[in-house]
Structure 1
Amino acid sequence: MKEHQLSPMLPRGSFRMLAGAVRVASPELTYLLMAQCRDIQELAVIGCYLCGGFSISAEGSGYTGARDPITTPEEIVAFLDLMPGVRGIKRARRALQYVVPNTASPIETLLALTSSLPPMLGGRTMPQVAANQRILVPERLQKLISADELYGDLYFESVKGDIEYDSYDFHTGRYRLDHTSTRRNVIEAAGIKVVSATWGQIKEFGLYQDFWWLVENNFGIRHKTYNEKQLLAQETLYCMLTNPEFRLF
């Protein structure tokens, strides 16, 4: 068990009440405490999980269902502003700039961080990405999808590109396959280029790298080359978030 030390008095909102007199550290305080013992790459992952739209098991891993984000980058920034000079705060602020809120699964988090982190920390040189971005459905197609808006899994606004992660858990079966295909067609009809990611395409690191070459090619993004240290950081990020033994805490 790690011990964390904070010298200043903790501000209001540092703890959340569970039941009775049981209190736990708030998401914002948790993030700051983790900054004392985690590197930037790990801290960016933690930030995405705290600001993500999915829950994990009590063992600190996996995916157990959808939920609303329990905090936001803005709320974390506001908390950090109340704790100047605390150990780890510089690392916390640096990692926070790479956090992509609203990812909906560990794999979406991997895809998002590959887009937002710099190459030396495991990312690629990509345009700014947003997770679960609102996309307006053309009026003519609203009956087809039974909605006037959709949410793109990972949307790159500057190149009008969207990565859709089609997991085996939620995109199999006749109805789901039909809905997934219709959804993709509607997004493309809205003038947005779509690349579908499936586990089969990214189940090995080499395949994952090829997948990103495909994304760049389809979105009109210039291909880059990476040195050995950058490739190692990319592989470390990939292995961390695809390893079934990975634990967040």
Structure 2
Amino acid sequence: MSALADDLSLPAPRPLHVLDLDGRRPRSTTAAAFHRWAAPLPMGQLVPLGGDAFSLGPELLLLDMARCVDDLDLLLLCHELCGGYRIDRTCDQGFASRPPLTSVRELRRCAERNAGVAGAKRLRRVLPHVGEGSESPMETATALIVGLPPRWGGLGAPRPEHNHRLDPGRRWRGAAEKGHYRCDLYWPERRVAVEYDGERAHTGAERISADARRRAAIQAMGVTTVTVTRDQLYRPADFRRLEKTLRRVLGLRSRVRCADYPERQRRLRARALGFDPAMGDVSRLIRFG
């Protein structure tokens, strides 16, 4: 481990934070800061890097990050690692499609096994609001803006299902062009789907026509579809109109008891969408990479 601390070729910022697995905990230096884990560390949740060096797996990483980030940043990280995308600034759209690295179930088990570790309480607190299967940062932001409780600035809707599969079946097969459809966000109790319409993914007359036919097929199946655009999320006046529509179709209260709810809502949108000027470096790293 001392050799690891002295290896200045490691591509990491200084100091490099190292978890001591054998209990000796060498003295921290300007090159490396050594830490202990406050619970038995499951080796199965470590990722081998080569030799005697390991990295925290996704569950332990999120548990460790819960010590130093707030609830919203932790929610964004959980959605990313439980979803089908990774923030990647080298991609034109700012993220790349990737398979999920973990699940809510595994995160809950990790928090329970490490109940004495700093961050476990925060991780358990946010898990009821974590959805699996999100495929983009904007899909995650929309889910949080709509699904978080009012005390956090959300609309207070039940947590949506991400990329829910709708099968037409015999009854609606004649209205469908495909064997099944995927809805970005879906509330099965209300049969409501929210689709995020990104400019880059939905351009051109042919694509617009295909999207219109898709929405018509889904509506023919008895599902109310609400299309959300970037402007509706970012522009305050457009968002207020969108909010009224979502409250109506989801059966949500039009009045919120929190006295400062508008400010909480503004802060949530600013942080989730990434336009909050007060965002710190860690929050920007989580949101944009």
Give the TM-score normalised by the residue count of structure 2: 0.76
Which residue number in structure 2 is paired with residue 237 of structure 1?
Answer: 268
Q: Give the percent of matched residue pairs that are identical in Structure 1 and Structure 2.
A: 28
Encode CA deviations 1:117-161: one digit per residue, 9 max, x unaligned.
Answer: 211212122134111111112436547654221111111111111
SS at match of 2:134: coil
Encode CA deviations 1:151-203: one digit per residue, 9 max, x unaligned.
Answer: 11111111111101111111111232122111111111110100001112222
CA distance in 1, matches of 2:202, 2:121: 41
Q: CA RMSD in A?
A: 2.8
Which residue number in structure 2 is paired with residue 111 of structure 1?
Answer: 142
CA distance in 2, matches of 1:6, 1:132: 37
Which residue number in structure 2 is paired with residue 94 of structure 1?
Answer: 125
Specify whether residues 8 and 194 from structure 1 end up closer, same or farther in structure 2 by C-alpha distance, changes over 3 A only: same
Which residue number in structure 2 is paired with residue 177 of structure 1?
Answer: 208
Which residue number in structure 1 is paired with residue 192 of structure 2?
Answer: 161
Give the TM-score normalised by the residue count of structure 1: 0.87
Which residue number in structure 2 is paired with residue 211 of structure 1?
Answer: 242
CA distance in 1, matches of 2:60, 2:262: 32
Structure having greater relative contact order (Cα 8 Å, sep ≥ 6):
1
Aligned length: 249
Contact 1:14–1:28 (CA under 8 A) maintained in structure 2: yes
SS at match of 1:127: coil
SS at match of 1:97: helix
Unaligned runs of 5+ in 1: none
Contact 2:89–2:95 (CA under 8 A) maintained in structure 1: no
Tell me the CA shift for residue 92 of structure 1: 0.8
- 2:278 pairs with 1:247: no
Contact 1:127–1:158 (CA under 8 A) maintained in structure 2: no
- 2:105 pairs with 1:74: yes
Contact 2:148–2:159 (CA under 8 A) maintained in structure 1: no
Contact 1:113–1:123 (CA under 8 A) maintained in structure 2: yes
Letter of the 1:70 counterpart:
L
SS at match of 2:285: coil
The partner residue of 1:130 within 154, 157, 161 is: 161
Which protein is bigger by CA-based radius of gyration? 2
Encode CA deviations 1:54-73: one digit per residue, 9 max, x unaligned.
Answer: 121168xx632222211110
Which residue number in structure 2 is paired with residue 50 of structure 1?
Answer: 81
Is 212-221 or 80-89 further displaced after alignment?
212-221
